[in-house]
Structure 1
Amino acid sequence: MRWVALVVGLAIITAVGIVVNMQRQDAGAARDAAATASRTPTPAASFTDPCGTFDTTVRTPYPITGYWIIPTADPCTWRSQFQAIHRVGGDTVIRLGHGLSPRRVDDETGLVLDAAGDKPDPRYAKCVEGELTCVQAAEKALKDAHPDNRITWTYVFRTDEQYGDGVFRCPDIERKIVVGDAVFFRIIAPDDGTDDASCDFSSRGRGYHLILVSAGKEDSLTTLLDLGDRFGIRVFPALPLAPRDPTGPTRANPRHIGTLTTLTRRILQDYGDRFAGRESLGGVYQPFELQIRDWPDPSKVDTLKVLAEQHLIVEQELAGKPILISPYLDARRDRKFTSTPKQVGKGFKVLARTGVGIIAPQDGRGTGKGGLFWPNWKNKPVDERLRPVVGDTTYAKAYYGGTRDYYREMAQARDELLKEGVRVELWANIEAFEPTRREGEKRCSSQSDRGATDKPRLDTQVTLVGPYVSKIISYMWSDYFTCGSPSLAEQIAQDWTRPIAIQAFRSRRDIQNGLEIRGYNLAGATVTLSWPGVDEPRVVDSTVAGVHETDPVPGLPERVERLWIPFDLDEVPDGRWVRVGVTAPDGRIAAEPVYYQHTT
């Protein structure tokens, strides 16, 4: 069996630490791309194709405007997904990605083995050229050019996309291979990670890496971008996922940086050739999931090195398109290597300097890594759905802080970075599931045993991340928004006009003191104010005494509204938390109140 180690890999790792530091000095141009990505295509009202007639209007807009979707082989399913996502106000779709994988090859048969190295991988066993496997054919082509040429490592990569000629640097030896209904791409590059453009295979013998890509029969990305144009949706395809460190699967393996950047460069060059100027290509998604934390010495964190090198390729090859990354938060006190809000704020700055334009941290509620609570709630028992993760305890004992505390610190870090000339957007990825299923509950996802949640829980998540982010996205549409009866999507359609408050603060208009409330669906609302020690809640009808404004608020999602009500806060004792409840004209109450801490 062939399993030749890449000796020069260690040298590459050392160089990366130096190069990354130099190349990250001025990353402002990459962050400016995030603003470019905010433009969405303008769709027609409807369209008809062989899959049917599809309505492209927004009917029940909700604060979540972006969703992950699972790849599907049925293009009609994509159309239905885009229609459903756009109906609830979605304008962004993010693709899940696949990993670049180093593989062993059986010396006798020339077959690529599975990830465990135990038996031939049936997906790549189909790849043949005449009487030879694709690995054997690639090695023969190299040796025909020079007898000392050799393949030192074989990699595989799976995708449902199909590339154009832009993916090839040396078309004399690289090629597209079609075997029946299976499509493969053979990509070859020097094993020193240089991706030499000279295509000189004959002057001397060298070691090469073979990247064997299993592709789609048709190009899924073209289909998705065409749908994006029709529905007014931006698509974020995934970058190749970095190989994981075998000693710690949460870490990227720096040994494969050269091959990862080669594949990334080739794919993005092809994107540039085929999709330049497409508004529906919103950017690219970095699928490697990592925890955002305060790294003591970021220069020694291999995963950050690997991501920074990959992100540099995006800056070079796909200028004007941002990189979206969605790290996870872990606020649990009883686990090692978790983080306080302050530590996460520091980690946000480090991650921004790897070249990303958009950071959309997972809020942690779906996994139980984070809790939805206000500072004045910290001594309350945790929600029952969190108990399987943190036990029967209080929020203060379970978590270092609430969701809102973490996003506030990251928003502050974002603003501090802007003063340094580093532009990065802060989005929120709210998890649309529960840590576990209830007894007897139907399983929503074949890939996870998470439970289904409901719209009130989503409303609460929106409230708690609300004033600190410019956009809210969610993992994920496929399964979690379409599971159950009624599904989350159906619950949103039935209840989309319910008010959702996200912030309240003291505000003065002319000579009157009052409160400004920000949120969604606030027109005509009645506001109820209460605090510890007050005998009767204060009720203000905003249609009688109030000002409602819908002009966009800089830095917040575009549908955020403002409602000002007069109120004499002098009657509130200093330091008290004021509970601000919002009720719609038809009597529906916001799922979550907001709290304002009064200080004189």
Structure 2
Amino acid sequence: MPEPPVQAPVATPLTTPTYPISGFFIAASSRDSANSQKLSDIKTFGGDTVITFGTALQPVSQKTLPRDCLIDGKSCATVVAGPLKINRYFTFLDGSHWGPSILRCPGDRSVVNNGLTFAVLLIPNEGQGCTSTNGSYDVVVAGGSAANASDQYSSLASAATKLKMKYFAGLPAPAKRADIRYLPDLSYTRTLAIFTERFLQYQSQENDLPGLAGFYHHTEIPLADSPTYDSVLALYASQNQLIHRILPDRQAVVSPYIEARLGKASSSPQEAGVAVRKIAQTSNGVVLNIAIQDGMGTGKGGAFSSSEANSPVDPSSAAAVGKGSWASKYVAPNRDYFAAAAAGVAGTSAVLWANVEGMTPASNTSSCGDGFRGLTTKARLDRQLKQVVNAQKIVSYMWDSFFNCAGKGTALKDQLEAGLKTPILTDVTFRPDTGQIQVAGFNLQGSSVKVRWTTAEGHPQLKVLKASGTNAGYGLQHGLNPGLEMISIGVGKTTIETGSTYSLTVTNGWGGTAPQFFSSLG
């Protein structure tokens, strides 16, 4: 059958095309210029949010304290402790240059030695304030930056403020247990809580800028409805309570991960929905943004449609789970987990985000990141985005290691910029009885659609039609991602067998054409 010419897209004013990812995990720099440039690059790309990881409050022995933290040639911890009874020693080596307001108690000291700067704090083991009622203290050595380095928190908050962006700073985190590596060490909960309080008080005094949008919970857990992770939920609740008390207008971000691999400690979408609700209930007055990791960068989650369930997993996922069909490797597609998560946060103050992983599973050849993850492609990232339509915001890991690194190919950022005008289709519905086709997705303005199907009588059909306008508010109207749009096409009443396949090719007003979309009726 000869193809009819593609009709020109609807002649309506077009806005600038955007990519749906608007936030990125980043590494902080000790230089103001580097932080400012990084955030400027992200804003130019279309991002408005950056998130940094936290640092562990790490138990150490007196012998393993930083060797450069010396006062008159003696260990800074020993000098600060003086005659006091010391229970335990800790480091918080975040590489930041802490200002004087972190020194809240008479015994706290700022130390500069051998070109490095530290803050040495005394944490009372009992009682309130600076004096321990039992005479026992813990010592925390924080910082470890070059003496001429910037305070990374202030640097990023200032840069975000100037660019009208949002910065979420990583919170102090407990170290991992030695016996069960995926659980936190809770043997020093009080010390962690007091240090977190001082951390937040410091941010309140030094960095209370509009760009400081809130804080990131560094400790991660899977979306599992299990009492195993109750200790982490308690940690979230404690730190959220402190945020709400000290900086009540700030938000928090937490990023649990999907574990959907069959044969592993996986959860069903229903169990994940319960787990999300438990996380939401730790908010304690804080707006808690739950950015679920989609697992496509680690192999723990699968981005596939129901029609692809029996198709082979993509080669990148196969590197983690082995060859086989999607349905033979995963409990359910990511879309089901995000739908369950949306139901889980309903009625709470929490907000569902997605953390779309911007890398591929195992790779020992990549020169980006730690070398154990591979560079992904725009096509694969687009596939991931189709699964997270329930998320109110989409962020990604990680700008420095993967989006902005070319390795042996083209940097992901450059791939996305080159393909920015391409539509991304997330859902299609075909009503033969009315002849209406509705297409949801991103960057659909001014689209025309080529549709192929075969009638129940066996007659091939091909039509190329203009969309009857774009509903730019579709996502907001349906509680989905606010960037989602909807277009409608009328092909006229027709017939099509249940289970029969039809296809669409969408070309938007910028001239971008999405990969051919196949679906089946019913």
TM beyond 0.5: yes
How far does residue 181 in structure 1 lie from its aligned partner after superposition?
Answer: 2.5
The residue type equivalent to 2:294 in the other structure is D
Q: Does 1:343 align with 2:277?
A: no
The residue type equivalent to 2:387 in the other structure is L
How far does residue 526 in structure 1 lie from its aligned partner after superposition?
Answer: 2.6
* Distance across 2 between alignment mates of 1:597 and 1:129: 75
CA RMSD between the two structures? 2.8
Residue pair 2:88, 2:139 contacting (<8 A) in 1 also: yes
Identify which of 260, 275, 279 aligns with 2:207.
275
Alignment CA distance shift 1:527-1:262 (3 Å): same
Identify which of 341, 349, 352 aligns with 2:280.
352
Alignment CA distance shift 1:535-1:96 (3 Å): farther
Give the match for residue 450 of structure 1: 373
How far does residue 506 in structure 1 lie from its aligned partner after superposition?
Answer: 6.8
Q: Does 1:61 align with 2:18?
A: yes
Alignment CA distance shift 1:405-1:551 (3 Å): closer
Give the match for residue 71 of structure 2: 129
Give the match for residue 39 of structure 2: 82
Q: Does 1:394 align with 2:329?
A: no
Give the match for residue 365 of structure 1: 296
Alignment CA distance shift 1:568-1:167 (3 Å): farther
Residue pair 1:160, 1:215 contacting (<8 A) in 2 also: yes
Give the match for residue 322 of structure 1: 251
How far does residue 597 in structure 1 lie from its aligned partner after superposition?
Answer: 5.6
- Report the number of matched residues: 496
* Distance across 2 between alignment mates of 1:497 and 1:576: 31
More helix by share: 1
How far does residue 215 in structure 1 lie from its aligned partner after superposition?
Answer: 4.4
Alignment CA distance shift 1:130-1:312 (3 Å): same
How far does residue 583 in structure 1 lie from its aligned partner after superposition?
Answer: 2.8
Q: Does 1:174 align with 2:96?
A: no
Give the match for residue 98 of structure 1: 55
Instruction: Summarize deviations over 1:80-129 as a string: whole Å, max 9, x none.
Output: 322221112100011122111011113xxxxxx1xxxxxxx5xx111112
Alignment CA distance shift 1:538-1:160 (3 Å): farther
Instruction: Summarize deviations over 1:450-505 as a string: whole Å, max 9, x none.
Output: 11111111111112212x11111110010211222421111122110111122334
Q: Does 1:185 align with 2:119?
A: yes
Equivalent position SS for 1:249: coil
* Distance across 2 between alignment mates of 1:94 and 1:341: 27
Give the match for residue 374 of structure 1: 305
Give the match for residue 206 of structure 1: 135
Alignment CA distance shift 1:319-1:552 (3 Å): farther
* Distance across 2 between alignment mates of 1:125 and 1:59: 54
The residue type equivalent to 2:113 in the other structure is V
Unpaired segments ≥5 residues, structure 2: 1-14
Give the match for residue 3 of structure 2: none
Give the match for residue 7 of structure 2: none
Alignment CA distance shift 1:523-1:174 (3 Å): same
Instruction: Summarize deviations over 1:207-256 as a string: whole Å, max 9, x none.
Output: 11111112443211222122112322211110012121111111012212
How far does residue 262 in structure 1 lie from its aligned partner after superposition?
Answer: 0.9
* Distance across 1 between alignment mates of 2:460 and 2:511: 19
Alignment CA distance shift 1:578-1:370 (3 Å): farther
The residue type equivalent to 1:410 in the other structure is A
Equivalent position SS for 2:173: coil
Identify which of 516, 524, 534 aligns with 2:438.
516
How far does residue 162 in structure 1 lie from its aligned partner after superposition?
Answer: 3.4
Give the match for residue 9 of structure 2: none
Residue pair 1:257, 1:309 contacting (<8 A) in 2 also: no
Give the match for residue 496 of structure 1: 420
Give the match for residue 4 of structure 2: none
The residue type equivalent to 2:375 in the other structure is A
How far does residue 174 in structure 1 lie from its aligned partner after superposition?
Answer: 1.4
Residue pair 2:358, 2:397 contacting (<8 A) in 1 also: yes
Alignment CA distance shift 1:595-1:186 (3 Å): farther
* Distance across 2 between alignment mates of 1:375 and 1:348: 24
| TM-score of the two chains, using structure 1 as the length reference | 0.77
* Distance across 2 between alignment mates of 1:200 and 1:288: 30
Identify which of 479, 486, 489 aligns with 1:565.
489
Give the match for residue 403 of structure 1: 334
Instruction: Summarize deviations over 1:50-105 as a string: whole Å, max 9, x none.
Output: xxxxxxxx986311100111233444332332222111210001112211101111
Alignment CA distance shift 1:212-1:96 (3 Å): same
The residue type equivalent to 1:372 in the other structure is A
The residue type equivalent to 1:132 in the other structure is K
The residue type equivalent to 1:161 in the other structure is S
* Distance across 1 between alignment mates of 2:262 and 2:459: 37
Give the match for residue 430 of structure 1: 356
Give the match for residue 92 of structure 2: 157
Instruction: Summarize deviations over 1:264-319 as a string: whole Å, max 9, x none.
Output: 1001011112333x221111011112111121x47x73222233222222222221
Equivalent position SS for 1:385: helix
| TM-score of the two chains, using structure 2 as the length reference | 0.87
Give the match for residue 312 of structure 1: 241
* Sequence identity (%): 26
* Distance across 2 between alignment mates of 1:592 and 1:105: 63
Q: Does 1:301 align with 2:230?
A: yes
Residue pair 1:98, 1:158 contacting (<8 A) in 2 also: yes
Q: Does 1:256 align with 2:188?
A: yes
* Distance across 1 between alignment mates of 2:328 and 2:493: 33
Equivalent position SS for 1:153: strand
How far does residue 380 in structure 1 lie from its aligned partner after superposition?
Answer: 1.2
Residue pair 2:69, 2:75 contacting (<8 A) in 1 also: yes
Identify which of 345, 367, 378 aligns with 1:414.
345
Identify which of 170, 176, 192 aligns with 1:238.
170
Q: Does 1:286 align with 2:286?
A: no
* Distance across 2 between alignment mates of 1:331 and 1:208: 44
The residue type equivalent to 1:319 in the other structure is P
* Distance across 1 between alignment mates of 2:410 and 2:198: 44
Equivalent position SS for 1:283: strand
How far does residue 585 in structure 1 lie from its aligned partner after superposition?
Answer: 5.3
Residue pair 2:200, 2:246 contacting (<8 A) in 1 also: yes
How far does residue 360 in structure 1 lie from its aligned partner after superposition?
Answer: 0.6
Q: Does 1:475 align with 2:397?
A: yes
* Distance across 1 between alignment mates of 2:201 and 2:493: 59
